[in-house]
Chain A
Amino acid sequence: MTGLAPSRVEIQARLEEALAGRVPVAVATVVRGGQVGAKLLILPDETLGGLGDATLDAAVAGDAPDLLAHERSETRPYQMAGHDDPVEVFIETFPPPPTLLIFGAVHVAQPLTRFAKALGFDVVVSDARAKLATAERFPDADRIIQGWPDETLAEVPILPNTYVAILSHDPKFDEPALIGTLDTPAAYIGAIGSRSTNEDRRRRLADAGLAPEQIARMRAPIGLDIGAATPEEMAISILGEIIALRRGRSGGSLTEASGRIRGEPGIAAAIR
Protein backbone atom coordinates (compact mmCIF):
# COMPACT_ATOMS: atom_id res chain seq x y z
CA MET A 1 0.00 0.00 0.00
CA THR A 2 1.20 3.47 -0.76
CA GLY A 3 1.08 6.39 1.61
CA LEU A 4 -1.92 7.63 -0.35
CA ALA A 5 -3.97 4.55 0.53
CA PRO A 6 -7.41 5.48 1.80
CA SER A 7 -7.83 5.20 5.55
CA ARG A 8 -10.05 2.62 7.19
CA VAL A 9 -12.30 5.47 8.27
CA GLU A 10 -12.72 6.41 4.61
CA ILE A 11 -13.48 2.81 3.63
CA GLN A 12 -16.03 2.59 6.43
CA ALA A 13 -17.65 5.85 5.27
CA ARG A 14 -17.88 4.65 1.66
CA LEU A 15 -19.31 1.32 2.82
CA GLU A 16 -22.03 3.06 4.84
CA GLU A 17 -22.80 5.30 1.87
CA ALA A 18 -23.18 2.24 -0.39
CA LEU A 19 -25.42 0.49 2.14
CA ALA A 20 -27.67 3.55 2.47
CA GLY A 21 -27.87 3.79 -1.33
CA ARG A 22 -28.77 0.07 -1.69
CA VAL A 23 -25.65 -0.47 -3.82
CA PRO A 24 -24.35 -4.06 -3.79
CA VAL A 25 -20.98 -3.93 -2.04
CA ALA A 26 -18.37 -6.26 -0.55
CA VAL A 27 -15.55 -5.74 1.93
CA ALA A 28 -12.50 -8.01 1.85
CA THR A 29 -10.19 -8.27 4.86
CA VAL A 30 -6.95 -10.23 5.21
CA VAL A 31 -7.46 -12.42 8.30
CA ARG A 32 -4.46 -14.81 8.14
CA GLY A 33 -1.06 -14.65 6.45
CA GLY A 34 -0.07 -11.48 4.63
CA GLN A 35 -1.08 -8.04 5.83
CA VAL A 36 -3.64 -9.00 8.47
CA GLY A 37 -6.33 -6.33 8.79
CA ALA A 38 -5.78 -4.80 5.33
CA LYS A 39 -9.07 -4.03 3.60
CA LEU A 40 -10.45 -3.72 0.10
CA LEU A 41 -13.90 -2.22 -0.57
CA ILE A 42 -15.45 -3.62 -3.74
CA LEU A 43 -18.13 -1.45 -5.38
CA PRO A 44 -19.83 -2.25 -8.73
CA ASP A 45 -17.50 0.02 -10.71
CA GLU A 46 -14.47 0.60 -8.50
CA THR A 47 -12.45 -0.62 -5.56
CA LEU A 48 -11.03 1.31 -2.64
CA GLY A 49 -8.14 0.38 -0.37
CA GLY A 50 -5.94 -2.67 -0.86
CA LEU A 51 -4.91 -6.02 0.60
CA GLY A 52 -1.19 -5.37 0.28
CA ASP A 53 -0.76 -6.90 -3.17
CA ALA A 54 -2.30 -5.79 -6.48
CA THR A 55 -2.63 -9.37 -7.78
CA LEU A 56 -4.49 -10.36 -4.63
CA ASP A 57 -6.75 -7.30 -4.93
CA ALA A 58 -7.65 -8.28 -8.49
CA ALA A 59 -8.32 -11.93 -7.58
CA VAL A 60 -10.53 -11.00 -4.64
CA ALA A 61 -12.41 -8.30 -6.57
CA GLY A 62 -13.05 -10.93 -9.25
CA ASP A 63 -14.56 -13.37 -6.72
CA ALA A 64 -16.86 -10.86 -5.01
CA PRO A 65 -19.67 -10.57 -7.61
CA ASP A 66 -20.44 -14.30 -7.48
CA LEU A 67 -20.55 -14.28 -3.67
CA LEU A 68 -22.82 -11.21 -3.78
CA ALA A 69 -25.16 -12.90 -6.24
CA HIS A 70 -25.50 -15.88 -3.89
CA GLU A 71 -25.79 -13.68 -0.79
CA ARG A 72 -22.80 -15.46 0.75
CA SER A 73 -19.83 -14.26 2.76
CA GLU A 74 -16.78 -16.49 3.21
CA THR A 75 -13.08 -16.77 3.94
CA ARG A 76 -11.10 -17.89 0.90
CA PRO A 77 -7.45 -18.94 0.65
CA TYR A 78 -5.29 -17.27 -2.02
CA GLN A 79 -1.92 -18.77 -2.91
CA MET A 80 0.55 -15.90 -3.28
CA ALA A 81 4.06 -15.86 -4.74
CA GLY A 82 6.52 -15.51 -1.87
CA HIS A 83 4.17 -17.01 0.74
CA ASP A 84 4.36 -20.68 1.75
CA ASP A 85 0.91 -20.61 3.27
CA PRO A 86 -2.06 -19.10 1.48
CA VAL A 87 -3.26 -15.65 2.43
CA GLU A 88 -6.78 -16.01 3.87
CA VAL A 89 -9.22 -13.27 2.95
CA PHE A 90 -12.67 -12.86 4.47
CA ILE A 91 -15.04 -11.52 1.83
CA GLU A 92 -18.15 -10.09 3.43
CA THR A 93 -20.93 -9.26 1.00
CA PHE A 94 -23.78 -6.82 1.49
CA PRO A 95 -26.45 -7.58 -1.10
CA PRO A 96 -29.17 -4.92 -1.20
CA PRO A 97 -31.97 -5.84 1.23
CA PRO A 98 -35.10 -7.52 -0.10
CA THR A 99 -38.26 -5.43 -0.39
CA LEU A 100 -41.63 -6.39 1.07
CA LEU A 101 -44.40 -4.64 -0.83
CA ILE A 102 -47.68 -4.74 1.09
CA PHE A 103 -50.96 -3.98 -0.64
CA GLY A 104 -53.57 -3.09 1.98
CA ALA A 105 -52.64 -0.88 4.95
CA VAL A 106 -54.82 -3.10 7.15
CA HIS A 107 -54.35 -4.26 10.73
CA VAL A 108 -52.22 -7.31 9.79
CA ALA A 109 -49.95 -5.01 7.77
CA GLN A 110 -48.89 -3.20 10.95
CA PRO A 111 -47.12 -6.09 12.74
CA LEU A 112 -46.05 -7.40 9.33
CA THR A 113 -44.23 -4.12 8.66
CA ARG A 114 -42.65 -4.10 12.12
CA PHE A 115 -41.46 -7.71 11.99
CA ALA A 116 -40.26 -7.46 8.38
CA LYS A 117 -38.16 -4.42 9.31
CA ALA A 118 -36.60 -6.48 12.11
CA LEU A 119 -35.75 -9.13 9.49
CA GLY A 120 -33.96 -6.55 7.33
CA PHE A 121 -36.57 -5.93 4.64
CA ASP A 122 -37.25 -2.56 3.08
CA VAL A 123 -41.01 -2.23 3.52
CA VAL A 124 -43.39 -0.38 1.20
CA VAL A 125 -47.06 -0.08 2.24
CA SER A 126 -49.65 0.79 -0.39
CA ASP A 127 -53.35 1.57 -0.04
CA ALA A 128 -55.72 3.96 -1.79
CA ARG A 129 -57.56 4.58 1.48
CA ALA A 130 -55.91 7.71 2.93
CA LYS A 131 -57.20 6.93 6.42
CA LEU A 132 -55.30 3.64 6.50
CA ALA A 133 -52.05 4.43 4.65
CA THR A 134 -50.59 6.85 7.21
CA ALA A 135 -47.20 7.31 8.81
CA GLU A 136 -48.90 7.19 12.23
CA ARG A 137 -50.14 3.67 11.54
CA PHE A 138 -46.85 2.60 9.89
CA PRO A 139 -44.00 4.42 11.65
CA ASP A 140 -41.49 1.72 10.58
CA ALA A 141 -42.37 1.64 6.86
CA ASP A 142 -39.66 2.86 4.49
CA ARG A 143 -42.31 4.19 2.16
CA ILE A 144 -46.07 4.66 2.28
CA ILE A 145 -47.91 5.11 -1.00
CA GLN A 146 -51.47 6.41 -0.94
CA GLY A 147 -52.70 5.10 -4.24
CA TRP A 148 -54.22 2.29 -6.27
CA PRO A 149 -52.17 -0.81 -7.09
CA ASP A 150 -51.46 0.33 -10.67
CA GLU A 151 -50.19 3.70 -9.41
CA THR A 152 -48.02 1.93 -6.85
CA LEU A 153 -46.65 -0.53 -9.43
CA ALA A 154 -45.72 2.40 -11.66
CA GLU A 155 -43.53 3.72 -8.83
CA VAL A 156 -42.07 0.60 -7.24
CA PRO A 157 -39.88 -1.61 -9.43
CA ILE A 158 -40.65 -5.33 -8.94
CA LEU A 159 -37.28 -7.11 -8.81
CA PRO A 160 -36.25 -10.74 -8.12
CA ASN A 161 -35.78 -9.77 -4.45
CA THR A 162 -39.24 -8.20 -4.12
CA TYR A 163 -41.79 -10.01 -1.94
CA VAL A 164 -45.45 -9.05 -2.33
CA ALA A 165 -48.16 -9.48 0.33
CA ILE A 166 -51.68 -8.66 -0.79
CA LEU A 167 -53.82 -8.13 2.29
CA SER A 168 -56.63 -5.71 1.49
CA HIS A 169 -59.50 -8.27 1.58
CA ASP A 170 -61.15 -6.29 -1.21
CA PRO A 171 -61.20 -7.53 -4.83
CA LYS A 172 -61.03 -4.01 -6.22
CA PHE A 173 -57.56 -3.64 -4.64
CA ASP A 174 -56.46 -7.28 -4.58
CA GLU A 175 -57.12 -8.17 -8.20
CA PRO A 176 -55.22 -5.30 -9.85
CA ALA A 177 -52.36 -5.99 -7.41
CA LEU A 178 -52.33 -9.68 -8.39
CA ILE A 179 -52.69 -9.04 -12.11
CA GLY A 180 -49.94 -6.42 -11.88
CA THR A 181 -47.45 -8.64 -10.05
CA LEU A 182 -48.02 -12.23 -11.22
CA ASP A 183 -46.12 -11.63 -14.47
CA THR A 184 -43.17 -9.87 -12.80
CA PRO A 185 -39.93 -11.45 -11.47
CA ALA A 186 -41.19 -11.01 -7.85
CA ALA A 187 -39.83 -13.73 -5.56
CA TYR A 188 -43.11 -14.20 -3.74
CA ILE A 189 -46.73 -13.16 -4.20
CA GLY A 190 -49.08 -14.04 -1.34
CA ALA A 191 -52.73 -13.09 -1.00
CA ILE A 192 -54.93 -13.16 2.08
CA GLY A 193 -58.38 -14.71 2.04
CA SER A 194 -60.44 -17.75 2.87
CA ARG A 195 -60.28 -20.88 0.77
CA SER A 196 -63.55 -19.98 -0.97
CA THR A 197 -62.33 -16.43 -1.64
CA ASN A 198 -59.28 -17.93 -3.24
CA GLU A 199 -61.26 -20.32 -5.43
CA ASP A 200 -63.25 -17.35 -6.74
CA ARG A 201 -60.05 -15.36 -7.08
CA ARG A 202 -58.31 -18.06 -9.12
CA ARG A 203 -61.34 -18.28 -11.39
CA ARG A 204 -61.46 -14.52 -11.92
CA LEU A 205 -57.73 -14.35 -12.65
CA ALA A 206 -58.17 -17.08 -15.27
CA ASP A 207 -61.10 -15.12 -16.76
CA ALA A 208 -58.84 -12.06 -16.84
CA GLY A 209 -56.50 -14.03 -19.11
CA LEU A 210 -53.72 -15.07 -16.73
CA ALA A 211 -51.98 -18.32 -17.60
CA PRO A 212 -52.34 -21.27 -15.18
CA GLU A 213 -48.62 -21.16 -14.30
CA GLN A 214 -48.91 -17.47 -13.42
CA ILE A 215 -51.93 -18.13 -11.21
CA ALA A 216 -50.05 -21.06 -9.60
CA ARG A 217 -47.36 -18.63 -8.42
CA MET A 218 -49.87 -17.05 -6.04
CA ARG A 219 -49.51 -18.27 -2.44
CA ALA A 220 -53.09 -18.17 -1.23
CA PRO A 221 -54.30 -18.40 1.44
CA ILE A 222 -51.11 -16.57 2.40
CA GLY A 223 -48.77 -17.90 5.09
CA LEU A 224 -47.63 -21.06 6.84
CA ASP A 225 -50.13 -23.38 8.52
CA ILE A 226 -49.46 -22.48 12.16
CA GLY A 227 -53.05 -21.72 13.07
CA ALA A 228 -52.39 -17.98 13.17
CA ALA A 229 -55.36 -16.18 14.76
CA THR A 230 -54.19 -12.67 15.68
CA PRO A 231 -52.69 -10.03 13.36
CA GLU A 232 -49.26 -10.61 14.96
CA GLU A 233 -49.52 -14.39 14.49
CA MET A 234 -50.61 -13.89 10.88
CA ALA A 235 -47.61 -11.63 10.31
CA ILE A 236 -45.32 -14.38 11.61
CA SER A 237 -47.09 -16.98 9.48
CA ILE A 238 -46.56 -14.81 6.37
CA LEU A 239 -42.91 -14.06 7.21
CA GLY A 240 -42.36 -17.74 8.01
CA GLU A 241 -43.52 -18.61 4.51
CA ILE A 242 -41.26 -15.93 3.03
CA ILE A 243 -38.21 -17.08 5.03
CA ALA A 244 -38.83 -20.71 4.06
CA LEU A 245 -39.00 -19.71 0.40
CA ARG A 246 -35.83 -17.61 0.68
CA ARG A 247 -33.96 -20.52 2.27
CA GLY A 248 -35.45 -23.25 0.12
CA ARG A 249 -37.38 -25.06 2.87
CA SER A 250 -40.94 -26.27 3.26
CA GLY A 251 -41.68 -24.74 6.66
CA GLY A 252 -42.37 -27.89 8.71
CA SER A 253 -41.16 -28.68 12.22
CA LEU A 254 -37.43 -29.45 12.68
CA THR A 255 -38.39 -32.38 14.94
CA GLU A 256 -39.80 -34.14 11.89
CA ALA A 257 -36.95 -33.09 9.61
CA SER A 258 -33.43 -34.36 9.09
CA GLY A 259 -30.40 -32.66 7.61
CA ARG A 260 -29.08 -29.18 8.14
CA ILE A 261 -30.93 -26.87 10.53
CA ARG A 262 -29.70 -23.63 9.05
CA GLY A 263 -30.76 -22.89 5.47
CA GLU A 264 -28.30 -21.74 2.89
CA PRO A 265 -28.41 -17.99 2.42
CA GLY A 266 -29.60 -16.86 -0.94
CA ILE A 267 -30.79 -20.28 -2.00
CA ALA A 268 -33.91 -18.79 -3.58
CA ALA A 269 -31.68 -16.51 -5.64
CA ALA A 270 -29.59 -19.51 -6.65
CA ILE A 271 -32.56 -21.58 -7.86
CA ARG A 272 -34.10 -18.79 -9.89
Chain B
Amino acid sequence: MKELLPEVDAWRSAGNRVAIATVVKVEGSAPRPVGASMAVSSAGDLAGSVSGGCVETAVFEEAQDVLRTGQPKLLRYGITDEMAWDVGLACGGTIEVFVEPVTE
Protein backbone atom coordinates (compact mmCIF):
# COMPACT_ATOMS: atom_id res chain seq x y z
CA MET B 1 0.00 0.00 0.00
CA LYS B 2 2.91 2.29 0.86
CA GLU B 3 4.17 2.36 -2.74
CA LEU B 4 0.71 3.44 -3.97
CA LEU B 5 0.50 6.55 -1.76
CA PRO B 6 1.74 8.97 -4.48
CA GLU B 7 -1.03 7.83 -6.86
CA VAL B 8 -3.65 7.78 -4.10
CA ASP B 9 -2.75 11.33 -3.04
CA ALA B 10 -2.76 12.58 -6.63
CA TRP B 11 -6.16 11.03 -7.41
CA ARG B 12 -7.67 12.39 -4.21
CA SER B 13 -6.25 15.86 -4.92
CA ALA B 14 -7.94 15.69 -8.31
CA GLY B 15 -11.24 15.24 -6.48
CA ASN B 16 -11.69 11.51 -7.07
CA ARG B 17 -12.63 8.83 -4.57
CA VAL B 18 -10.15 5.99 -4.11
CA ALA B 19 -10.46 2.36 -3.05
CA ILE B 20 -7.57 0.10 -2.07
CA ALA B 21 -7.61 -3.65 -2.63
CA THR B 22 -5.12 -5.68 -0.58
CA VAL B 23 -4.23 -9.38 -0.62
CA VAL B 24 -4.94 -10.38 2.98
CA LYS B 25 -4.67 -14.16 2.69
CA VAL B 26 -2.95 -16.63 0.35
CA GLU B 27 -3.53 -20.40 0.26
CA GLY B 28 -1.20 -22.44 -1.94
CA SER B 29 0.66 -20.77 -4.81
CA ALA B 30 -0.32 -17.25 -5.75
CA PRO B 31 1.35 -14.71 -8.01
CA ARG B 32 1.61 -12.02 -5.34
CA PRO B 33 2.11 -12.28 -1.57
CA VAL B 34 0.00 -11.06 1.33
CA GLY B 35 0.19 -7.27 1.46
CA ALA B 36 0.27 -6.79 -2.33
CA SER B 37 -2.19 -4.06 -3.19
CA MET B 38 -3.87 -2.16 -5.94
CA ALA B 39 -5.53 1.26 -5.92
CA VAL B 40 -8.55 2.22 -8.01
CA SER B 41 -10.12 5.64 -8.46
CA SER B 42 -13.68 6.68 -9.22
CA ALA B 43 -12.26 8.16 -12.46
CA GLY B 44 -11.16 4.68 -13.55
CA ASP B 45 -7.45 4.94 -12.70
CA LEU B 46 -5.65 1.78 -11.61
CA ALA B 47 -2.21 1.29 -10.00
CA GLY B 48 -0.42 -1.67 -8.45
CA SER B 49 -1.60 -5.29 -8.60
CA VAL B 50 -3.00 -8.07 -6.44
CA SER B 51 -2.33 -11.05 -8.70
CA GLY B 52 -0.04 -10.12 -11.55
CA GLY B 53 -2.94 -9.87 -13.98
CA CYS B 54 -5.29 -12.80 -13.29
CA VAL B 55 -8.02 -11.02 -11.31
CA GLU B 56 -7.27 -7.30 -11.60
CA THR B 57 -10.18 -6.59 -13.94
CA ALA B 58 -12.67 -8.26 -11.61
CA VAL B 59 -11.21 -6.48 -8.57
CA PHE B 60 -11.43 -3.17 -10.45
CA GLU B 61 -15.18 -3.70 -10.97
CA GLU B 62 -15.71 -4.70 -7.32
CA ALA B 63 -13.76 -1.60 -6.25
CA GLN B 64 -16.09 0.61 -8.27
CA ASP B 65 -18.97 -1.00 -6.38
CA VAL B 66 -17.21 -0.34 -3.06
CA LEU B 67 -16.78 3.30 -4.06
CA ARG B 68 -20.48 3.54 -4.88
CA THR B 69 -21.70 1.96 -1.64
CA GLY B 70 -18.88 2.99 0.71
CA GLN B 71 -18.98 -0.56 2.14
CA PRO B 72 -15.75 -2.63 2.26
CA LYS B 73 -15.78 -6.15 0.76
CA LEU B 74 -13.79 -9.33 1.17
CA LEU B 75 -13.32 -11.16 -2.15
CA ARG B 76 -12.08 -14.68 -2.67
CA TYR B 77 -10.53 -15.99 -5.88
CA GLY B 78 -9.46 -19.55 -6.51
CA ILE B 79 -8.66 -21.79 -9.40
CA THR B 80 -11.59 -22.22 -11.74
CA ASP B 81 -12.64 -25.24 -13.80
CA GLU B 82 -13.35 -23.10 -16.80
CA MET B 83 -10.24 -20.99 -16.84
CA ALA B 84 -10.93 -19.58 -20.27
CA TRP B 85 -14.28 -18.12 -19.26
CA ASP B 86 -14.07 -17.26 -15.64
CA VAL B 87 -11.91 -15.15 -13.38
CA GLY B 88 -9.44 -17.07 -11.27
CA LEU B 89 -5.83 -17.88 -10.61
CA ALA B 90 -3.98 -20.06 -13.11
CA CYS B 91 -1.38 -21.12 -10.55
CA GLY B 92 -3.71 -23.20 -8.41
CA GLY B 93 -3.91 -21.15 -5.24
CA THR B 94 -6.61 -19.12 -3.56
CA ILE B 95 -6.37 -15.50 -2.53
CA GLU B 96 -8.54 -13.25 -0.43
CA VAL B 97 -8.62 -9.58 -1.34
CA PHE B 98 -10.04 -6.93 0.96
CA VAL B 99 -11.37 -3.84 -0.83
CA GLU B 100 -12.06 -0.68 1.12
CA PRO B 101 -12.63 2.99 0.38
CA VAL B 102 -9.77 5.28 1.40
CA THR B 103 -11.89 8.36 1.95
CA GLU B 104 -15.07 8.47 3.95
B residues 24-59 with Cβ under 8 Å of A? Answer: 24-25, 29, 33-35
For window 10-50 of A, CB contacts with B under 8 Å fall at 12, 16, 19, 29, 31-32, 36-37
A31 near B74: Cβ-Cβ < 8 Å? yes
A120–B5 alpha-carbon span in the complex (Å): 13
Q: Convert B74-104 into 0s and 1s, putting 1 for each residue whose CB lies closer than 8 angstroms to a CB of A.
A: 1000000000000000000000101010111
User: By DSSP majority rule, is chain A's interface helix, strand, loop, or mixed?
Assistant: mixed
Closest to A264 in B: B33
Q: Give the residues in chain A near B2, CB-CB below 8 Å.
A: 19, 94
Q: Which of B25, B71, B104 sits near A7, CB closer than 8 Å?
A: B104
**Nearest CB of chain B from residue A118's CB, rounded to whole Å:** 10
**Taking the complex as formed, is A9 at the interface, i.e. its CB lies under 8 A from any CB of chain B?**
yes
B102 and A12 within 8 A (CB): yes
| Residue contact B98 to A265, C-beta cutoff 8 Å | no
**What is the CA–CA distance of A6 and B101 in the complex, to the nearest angstrom?**
16
- What is the bound-complex CA distance between A265 and B25, given in angstroms? 15
Bound complex: CA of A262 vs CA of B30, how far in Å? 10
* Cβ–Cβ contact B3 & A90, under 8 A: no
Instruction: State whether the Cβ of A75 lies closer than 8 Å to any Cβ in chain B.
Output: yes
Query: At the interface, yes or no: A92 with Cβ under 8 Å from chain B?
Result: yes
- Determine the chain B residues whose CB is within 8 A of the CB of A12 once the complex forms: 102
Set A19, A37, A73, A74: member contacting B100, Cβ < 8 A: A37
What is the size category of the interface that chain A forms with chain B? Answer: 20 to 34
Return A97 CB to nearest CB of chain B, in Å.
Answer: 9
Contacting pair B25 A75 (CB below 8 A): yes
A8 touches B (CB below 8 Å): yes
Q: Which residues of A contact B103 (CB under 8 A)?
A: 8-9
**In the assembly, what is the distance between CA of A92 and CA of B100, in Å?**
14
Residue ID in chain B nearest A32 by CB atoms: B74
Q: How far is the CB of A45 from chain B (nearest CB, A)?
A: 21
A29, B24: Cα distance in complex, Å: 10
Q: How far is the CB of B7 from chain A (nearest CB, A)?
A: 14
Residues 215-272 of A contacting B (Cβ, < 8 Å):
261-262, 265
- Least distance between A36 CB and chain B CB atoms (Å): 6
A75 touches B96 (CB 8 A): yes
**B64 interfacial contact with A, CB 8 Å:** no
Judge whether B102 and A31 touch: CB under 8 Å: no
Q: Mark A71-108, 1 if CB is under 8 A from B, else 0.
A: 01111000000000000001010100000000000000
Q: List 14 A-B contacts (CB under 8 A).
A: A7-B104, A8-B102, A8-B104, A9-B103, A31-B24, A31-B74, A36-B74, A73-B34, A75-B24, A75-B25, A75-B34, A90-B25, A90-B98, A92-B22
Interface residues of A (CB under 8 A from B): 7-9, 12, 16, 19, 29, 31-32, 36-37, 72-75, 90, 92, 94, 120, 261-262, 265
